[in-house]
């Protein structure tokens, strides 16, 4: 076979291979592979590939509501985390979780009664202002319960400790002690209040304004401290024979032990 014949045979072989690839479209090689859909970037709404406009509106509304609920749950968890209520330290029996706004004297009495009846070693109450802690220290002392303030800053709270001298629960003595407490509401100090001096209260030298309003259901003047012995009116009554826990009036006409309460009602529901 001469040189020209060999060259012609090689050219025919290459031509037949070219014919096999002529029908292939290299732009279609990626079509059989399903591409993974990417998640929308943070802050951008997803695109729903649906032809029905009403269905797309429903999907969009559901997505927006879900994002809003997640954001609210995240804020709540951040708030609890800042208070130390998440993780191993976050106990479900923590009174900071049970009373997120504050405690009334009835709730204080309920927790104290439960503490006296069971064998619980200590009881940590929610954060309170200085006067509220003082009132509870004096109340605990009547039952020989050791009481001290724990925590720091707006997390300062009264903590009660059982001792060997702690009295057993007696309904009569307990009701008398609770009835002599002059303060009726104990708001959370860490949330700010007109009594608590928390985040929402005025500071010395600052321009903040204290919240002087009452909450719905709060007793007017319920947080006022008991008059001390240096008060002239009290001193005069004591000279006339009055003592703490007794009623005003003569032997035949005794007055009431507790003053008439006036509760705040902001809403109009139930009126008329």
Q: Give pTM, 2 decimals.
A: 0.43
Nearest to 212 by CA among 195, 229, 228: 195
| Full pLDDT tens readout for the chain, 272 residues | 555 655 566 555 555 555 555 555 555 555 555 555 566 565 555 665 656 677 778 778 888 888 888 888 888 777 766 655 555 444 556 888 888 888 999 999 999 999 999 988 999 999 999 999 999 999 999 999 999 999 888 889 999 999 999 999 999 999 999 998 988 899 988 875 444 444 444 344 444 444 445 666 777 766 666 777 778 887 888 887 777 767 776 666 666 666 677 777 766 665 55
Domain membership of residue 109 (yes or no) is: yes
In DSSP terms, 158 is beta-bridged to: 149
Q: Indicate the SS3 state at residue 161.
A: strand
Q: What CATH number does residue 179 fall under?
A: 3.30.1370
Q: Is the dihedral of CA 170, 187, 129, 212 positive or negative?
A: negative
Residue 39 lies in a domain: no
Select from 145, 170, 200 the last residue of a domain. Answer: 200
Question: Measured between alpha carbons, how far is 202 from 260 in angstroms, rounded to an integer?
Answer: 31
In Å, how far from its chain's centre is CA 250?
Answer: 49
| Residue 119 and residue 162 in one domain | yes
Phi, psi angles (nearest 5°) of residue 124: -100, 120
* Residue-number span of the structural domain to which 73 is assigned: 58-90
Which region holds residue 102: left if phi is over 0, alpha if psi is between -120 and 50, else beta?
A: left
* CB neighbour burial string for 12-47, b if at least 16 within 10 angstroms, e if fewer: eeeeeeeeeeeeeeeeeeeeeeeeeeeeeeeeeeee
Quick check: is 116 in a domain?
yes
Residue length of the chain: 272
> Domains in the chain: how many in total?
2
């Amino acid at each position: 076979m001469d040189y020209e014949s060999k060259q012609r045979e090689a050219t025919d072989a290459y031509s037949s291979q070219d014919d096999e690839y002529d029908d292939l479209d290299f732009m279609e090689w990626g079509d059989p592979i399903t591409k993974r859909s990417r998640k929308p970037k943070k802050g951008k709404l997803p695109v729903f590939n649906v032809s029905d406009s009403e269905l797309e509106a429903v999907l969009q509304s559901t997505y927006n509501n879900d994002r809003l609920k997640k954001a609210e749950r995240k804020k709540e968890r951040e708030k609890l985390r800042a208070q130390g209520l998440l993780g191993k330290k976050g106990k479900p029996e923590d009174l900071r979780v049970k009373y997120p706004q504050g405690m009334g004297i009835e709730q204080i009495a309920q927790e104290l009664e439960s503490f006296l009846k069971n064998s619980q070693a200590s009881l940590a109450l929610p954060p309170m202002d200085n006067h509220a802690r003082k009132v509870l220290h004096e109340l605990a002392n009547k039952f020989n319960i050791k009481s001290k303030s724990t925590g720091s800053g707006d997390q300062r709270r009264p903590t009660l400790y059982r001792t060997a001298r702690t009295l057993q629960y007696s309904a009569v003595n307990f009701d008398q002690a609770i009835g002599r407490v002059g303060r009726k509401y104990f708001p959370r100090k860490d949330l700010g209040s007109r009594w608590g001096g928390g985040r929402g209260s005025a500071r010395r030298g600052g321009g903040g304004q204290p919240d002087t309003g009452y909450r719905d259901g709060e007793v007017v003047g319920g947080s006022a401290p008991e008059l001390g012995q240096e008060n002239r009116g009290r001193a005069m009554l004591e000279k006339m024979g009055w003592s703490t826990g007794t009623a005003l009036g003569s032997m035949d006409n005794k007055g009431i032990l507790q003053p008439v309460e006036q509760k705040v009602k902001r809403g109009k529901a139930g009126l008329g």
